[in-house]
Amino acid sequence: MHDPAGELAKIVFLIFLLLALGGLVWWVIWLLGVFFSASVNVTKQVGAAIVDWNARRVEANEQAALETAAVQRQRDETARQERALAHEREKLHEPIAQLQAYYAEVEAYVRDRYPAAIITAFIRYEMGEGKTVRERWEACHRMIAQLQALVVERMEERRRQVAEREQRRQQLARRIREIDEAIAGLHREISLQQASPLDVEIIEQEVAGIRLRIRELQIERYELTEELNRV
């Protein structure tokens, strides 16, 4: 038996079911669209973040390189300044070193008039702090000229003294030879007196006088020999 109400109810149910399925499909499509849009945004954000991170890293590397280069430049400049200061100190010390070296060579000639304390004081006041390289060289040459003049004077004086000593040595040696010859002659005279036919008493008096003369010559010879050894 055909039931129209039941058929209609089935049709309505099918219609509602189709509508429900259509709505569900629509919601699924909408959710997929939202998800896809969100995914795209997330991808864009991640990509942007990656790009920004890379840019920051490049910038940080460049900054680090700039800082490293600046530090190296500062080190190079400091090293250059230190070398320049060392060279300047060396230039300032050169005249002092030259004066000290020359004084060491001639000290034996000049120490009585220019003792080391005077040279030290001269260096301190004429070649010390505040004096330029030129001023120090001028002071160095001035003092060396004074020392050289005294050295020449002292060397000439020493040559004269050496010549005088040599002349005195020759005089002493010549006088010693004369004394030796005189003593030898007196000994021969004693031999002649002893062989003389004169009275013994007279001979003894003559010999005694000769021996006294020999003794005087021997004393003189000893004194001259001592002086010769000292000259």
- Does a structural domain hold residue 196? yes
Q: Domain limits at 160?
A: 83-230
Residue 151: the pLDDT is 95
- Does a structural domain hold residue 189? yes
- Does a structural domain hold residue 178? yes
- Does a structural domain hold residue 157? yes
Which pTM value belongs to this model?
A: 0.48
**pLDDT tens, residue by residue, 49-70:** 777 777 787 877 777 777 777 6
- Does a structural domain hold residue 8? no
Taking the chain (231 residues) in consecutive chunks of 10 residues, what is each chunk's mean pLDDT? Answer: 64 72 73 68 67 77 75 66 60 92 94 94 92 92 96 93 93 95 92 81 88 94 92 79
- Does a structural domain hold residue 198? yes
Residue 27: the pLDDT is 74
Residue 203: the pLDDT is 84
Place of tokens 């020449």: 152
- Does a structural domain hold residue 145? yes
Place of tokens 């004096």: 131
Residue 39: the pLDDT is 61
Q: Count how many domains the chain has.
A: 1
Q: Which residues of 166-197 are buried (b: 16+ CB within 10 A; e: fewer)?
A: eeeeeebeeebeebeeebeebeeebeebeeee
